[in-house]
A and B are shown apart, each in its own frame.
Chain A
């Protein structure tokens, strides 16, 4: 659906009064499911990825893909023997599949991180947690990105 593709890369806006760079041409590369898969394999290696334990809170329909709030939490006691070592978040269709890696430990107390992300288009977001026993757990969520009305891209 090329017409609904949001021009996510037109980020800081095209207004040049204050001397910002006028950005007009945007033909971003697009990550492919293969790139997503490679990015995931770079983190988990050959290990099996289980489904469950991880929760991904992200609005199913967002008002603007430039700033999407997201929270990942993992069911874990966060003790010295049983905790989450890291959380890795990926996307399917941005020019680059990685979003962020978050490193935690028993001192965290709770395995939960929140941030705000950019989503170029309606797509899938994947969160993977690595536990202290080196098992990997994942969850995926689909996010529909709304177009902003009256943008400055037409200038």
Chain B
């Protein structure tokens, strides 16, 4: 399933850049019941990590109160050209990844 990543393709060294991510996930809270009273099991993304050329620059722990199709925006300092890697980890062994590259001048 899709993820939308927004990272500027170019930046000047030292610029503070915004990174935005949006990913497909139902974020089932684990607090809902079906017609016959069964609990719908929780199925959420529990953690998100962003690495910049291998080093972690942002991490989030998510709870059921995060809306479906989680959206996250955060900042980092553009220090060198290279790659951002994104990882979403969740219940039932869920894992997905995406990446984006940047040229820093």
- Residues 89-104 of B, flagged 1 when their CB comes within 8 A of A and 0 if not, give 0000000000000000
- Whole-angstrom CA separation of A114 from B64 in the bound complex: 16
Mask: chain B, 19-61; 1 = CB below 8 Å from A; 0 = not = 0000000111101111101001000000000001001011111
For residue A92, give the distance in angstroms from its CB to the closest CB of chain B.
11
Chain A contact patch, size range: 35 or more
Tell me how far the C-beta of A109 lies from the nearest C-beta in chain B, rounded to whole angstroms.
Answer: 4
Contact A107 B76 (CB under 8 A): yes
* Interface contact tally, CB-CB below 8 A: 123
When the two chains form their complex, are residues A11 and B66 in contact, meaning their CB atoms are under 8 A apart? no
Is the CB–CB distance between B29 and A95 below 8 Å? yes
| CB atoms of B75 and A109 under 8 A apart | yes
A66 within 8 Å of B by Cβ? Answer: yes
Give chain B residues whose Cβ lies under 8 Å from the Cβ of A118: 29, 64-67
Q: How far is the CA of A27 from the CA of B39 in the complex (A)?
A: 11
Asked if B62 CB lies within 8 Å of chain A CBs, one says yes
Question: Residues of A contacting B33 with CB < 8 Å?
Answer: 23-27
- Taking a contact as CB atoms closer than 8 A, the residue among A25, A71, A94, A112 that contacts B65 in the complex is A94
In the complex, residue of chain B having the shortest beta-carbon distance to the beta carbon of A27: B33
Contact status B74-A104, CB under 8 Å: yes
Contact B34 A22 (CB under 8 A): yes
A108 sits at the interface (CB 8 A):
yes
A11-B68, A109-B16, A118-B29 are known; give 8 further A-B pairs, CB within 8 A: A23-B34, A25-B33, A66-B67, A100-B61, A100-B63, A102-B60, A112-B74, A113-B72
| Interface pairs A-B: 8 shortest CB-CB | A109-B16, A109-B77, A114-B73, A116-B67, A110-B75, A101-B61, A103-B59, A98-B63
